[in-house]
């Protein structure tokens, strides 16, 4: 599921386009970082960026393994997004967005895949925060879940009316700080 870093570029605009509920949901993950007055996003501690990137890919792969419908999986790897109100050179979050587009014969199974995820994610440490139709014109089915222990949140949306239909998965971390003497690599 990894693409070269040059292909992983993610603009802040793309990250900001994520549904607002995902950001709010991640705030429920454990204790929020209080170093700046109680941010909404929890601290994920100090971590080298490469290790955080690998952990994010591992969490994404674990979610992919839970999706009971197989198909073409998009390839972008995690991208860096800033921690709001913090030094961009010392603090970072990772956002990994990808999608699953099943073969034509399995497209009707996507709604069932969403129900399956709602049932299986809690068995793997995730707490489902919402499972409902979004407010878009297409009323897409969306699932939001947090993993308090790992400080991750996931937003999975079933785009039933797209051609072809697909599931889009957005995995986002809490706020990491790089070790002393290191700087964030913005990719």
Q: What is the pLDDT of residue 77?
A: 82
Phi, psi dihedral angles at 15 (to 5 degrees)? -65, -40
Each residue's pLDDT tens digit, 148-177: 999 999 999 999 999 999 999 999 999 999
Each residue's pLDDT tens digit, 97-152: 999 999 988 999 998 999 999 999 999 999 999 999 999 999 999 999 999 999 99
What pTM value is reported for the model? Answer: 0.79
Please give the mean pLDDT across all residues of the chain: 83
Q: What is the pLDDT of residue 42?
A: 85
Q: Do the strands 175-177 and 127-133 form a parallel or antiparallel pair, or are they unpaired?
A: unpaired
Q: What is the pLDDT of residue 152?
A: 97
CB of 98 within 8 A of CB of 72? Answer: no
Each residue's pLDDT tens digit, 3-16: 333 333 332 223 33
Enumerate long-range contacts of 142-149, CB under 8 Å, 24 or more apart: 142/19, 142/21, 143/114, 143/117, 143/118, 144/19, 144/21, 144/22, 144/25, 145/25, 145/121, 146/25, 146/26, 146/28, 146/29, 147/29, 147/59, 148/28, 148/29, 148/30, 149/30, 149/125
């Amino acid at each position: 599921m990894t693409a070269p870093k040059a292909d992983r570029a993610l603009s802040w605009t793309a990250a900001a386009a994520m549904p607002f509920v995902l950001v709010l949901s991640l705030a429920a993950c454990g204790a929020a970082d209080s170093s700046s007055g109680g941010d909404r996003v929890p601290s994920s501690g100090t971590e080298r960026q490469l290790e955080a990137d690998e952990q994010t890919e591992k969490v994404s792969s674990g979610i992919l393994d839970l999706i009971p419908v197989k198909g073409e999986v998009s390839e972008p790897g995690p991208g860096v997004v800033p921690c709001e109100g913090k030094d961009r050179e010392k603090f970072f979050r990772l956002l990994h967005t990808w999608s699953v587009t099943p073969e034509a014969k399995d497209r009707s199974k996507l709604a069932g895949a969403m129900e399956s995820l709602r049932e299986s994610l809690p068995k793997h440490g995730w707490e489902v925060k919402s499972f409902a139709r979004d407010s878009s014109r297409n009323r897409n089915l969306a699932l939001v879940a947090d993993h308090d222990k790992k400080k991750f949140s996931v937003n999975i949306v079933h785009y039933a009316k797209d051609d072809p239909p697909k599931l889009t998965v957005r995995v986002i971390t809490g706020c990491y700080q790089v070790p002393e003497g290191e700087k964030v690599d913005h990719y």
